[in-house]
Amino acid sequence: VVWEDPFPKSSYLFALVAGDLAMIEDTFITLSGKSVTLRIYAQKGKENRLEYAMKSLKKAFAWDEKAFGREYDFNLFNLVAVSDFNMGAMENKSLNIFNDKLVLANPETATDTDYMRIESVIAHEYFHNWSGDRVTARDWFNLSLKEGFTVYREQEFSADMNSRALQRINDVLFLWRVQFPEDAGPLAHPVRPESYMEIDNFYTSTVYEKGAELIRMQEKILGKDLFRKATDLYFSRHDGQAVTIDDFVKCMEDASNIDLSQFKRWYSQAGTPEVEVKDEYDPEKQTYTLFMTQKTNPTPMQEKKDPLFIPIEIALLNHKGEEIPLILDGDDLDTPANSKVLILDSPEKSFVFKNIQEKPLPSLNRSFTAPINIAFPYTDKDLVFLMAKDTDPFIRWSAGQKYALQYIKSVYQDLMQNKQLKLDNNFNNAFASYLDIADDKMFAAMALQLPSLQYLFEQLEDVDIDILDTAFKYVRDNFVREFKSKLLAVYHANYVSDPFDISASAVSRRALRNRVLAYLATLKDEDTDSLVREQYRNSVNMTDVQASLAILLNNQIKGYEDALGDFYWHFKKDPLVVNKWLMLQAGAEGNSQVLAEVKKLTKHEAFNWKNPNKVYALIGAFSNNFVHFHAKDGSGYDFLADTIIHIDAFNPLVASHVATFFGNWRKLDEKRRKLVEKNLNKILNTQNLSKHVWEIVSKSMVK
């Protein structure tokens, strides 16, 4: 076969796949009328699970034409799914290579979450055809030029395909759980790193997801029309070139005449900015003032931080929850608007609004305009008001998260001081109000999720994990006991009769139903236990099967062993589903012997150390099993260190990723810190340690 390729490109974009593969084929007609042949390949016997991937690919082609004016350039596009692959996918020109877990799907083997992930990642790799292939990065320091921009494009695509509000909440949840801890820990680095030993170690949430947030901020600063003009300019000016982040920002400036020189500090400074907001209302002048200050804490290799250019969208709500028209005092050209994007570009700055007839409640950083921690002295009453009244779905959700966070932290502090615990019935009632959202069940399912232990951990210092877990369960269990009947009613009201329906309505009802079932199971009543067993027995779609099996395991409900055996027997010939089986066992929160089970599973026929998917399923799930990984005796740390050393001998890339599971360990209590440090030193003292692992572990040791 002779391939003719008219486009110059970086060598990393070339790829060849050879094998005896099965294939499905379809056609897409581009905006200009060109016919493109689409082919998706997989191992023989798996081709019946490729149709959803093909539909997702065609959606991505059409969306990129409409949203960014980008038409595909060849007459053929190939996508290949392989089972042993260190990464999720690669954007090799006209031959995208995927880990098959991000391609193969049918309702019997893939969850609703799997479907959404497949749709978004296939779009991401296709979008690289322009943001990464036609215009690529000059060097690896500018990796976020292509990855941050393409993550932003992927997020916008998913928002348009599904729910914009829920996409934004999911994006922020990932930042809070993964990127913010990275920015606050020993592995903090700028979006544009200043140095690296192995570039594989910089395929991080900072480069990808924080990089996407920087693109989103520029879109907010310019406005949608000017942002589209700027991206058109970027693609036309640099087509066929290898360029830098500076070139991208220059296109933003040239299209808008806005000076973004200070904004570029976001690319060179690590850390999450903290913005403190205070307010003052003058009833005589009818003015309302917001006082804002910003700071970014020191990070490794960066003690001094300069003030950033931070866009913050705000609204002001009156006592009815209505948005007050905003006019900035001193700006005669300002026109009233229900929300405004304020620019905080100095260490401190004040914003005065006029014609404000009553003291309002501010709605701050709407839609999470900027990736910052924002502090305002909201009372519990204020947060309940925002949960119920704010028109911004992100603010309604985050208000509930803040209220839960404050409540759990107060219980934790009382436990640490041996104080008597006090119930907060106001919290229970406010949180239960999410159960009454009839028109947006997916939002209700998201809002009913309490902040994770890991997120709570990041908000504290010298954390005793066991006491934090006790505080979390105290808040959760009191809520569930008080609203058991209501939770049961919601569970039964959201039954989906067609198990293979993956419409938005069916997906949202399943999500809400499984959320409340997980709560009900914590009661450990025979009637709720039987509900979980019944759902497992009667379900045929993977979403409900996996959810009920996870609940059985997490709560060690009678019959969980039989369910585990049944699940494996049904799916043992399907590696992707078996990986779910491994993951669920390693993540079982209620199993006090989970580490022993994980060690046994490493010797099981279903596990293979040399398959990255299996390593991430088993070892990754255990590392996220927060209480058991952080066992007081250090056994979880010992196991992870031995695992890293073992994998490093044959797959340093996977080993270095596993090494990041130690996370922001300096927030632990003193005893646990010493145990982690002992294991990190053990890894560093290993003979023939790879550069991949040495770089991650040595940086983890930096104070």
CA distance 484 to 480: 6
Q: Report helix angle 245-256 to 224-238, nearest 10.
A: 130
DSSP 332-383: TT---BSSEEEEE-SSEEEEEEES--S--EEEESGGG-SS-EEE----HHHH
Beta strands in 111-269 (DSSP E): 136-137, 242-243
d(CA 251, CA 264): 13
3-state secondary structure 625-691: CHHHHCCCCCHHHHHHHHHHHHHHCCCHHHHHHHHHHHCCHHHECHHHHHHHHHHHHHHHCCCCCCH
Token pair recorded at residue 546? 């996996």
Q: How far apart are CA 28 and CA 316, in angstroms?
A: 47
* Residues belonging to the active site: 125
CB neighbourhood size of 309 (10 A): 19
User: Per the structure block, which two tokens stand in for 316?
Assistant: 């002001």
Angle between helices 484-493 and 465-482 in degrees, nearest 10: 80
Closest by Cα among 594, 671, 664 to 627:
594
Contact partners, residue 619, CB within 8 Å, separation at least 6: 586, 598, 640, 643, 658, 661
**Could you say which DSSP state residue 26 is in?**
E
Calpha distance 645→641 (Å, rounded)? 6
In whole angstroms, give the CA distance from residue 138 to residue 308: 26
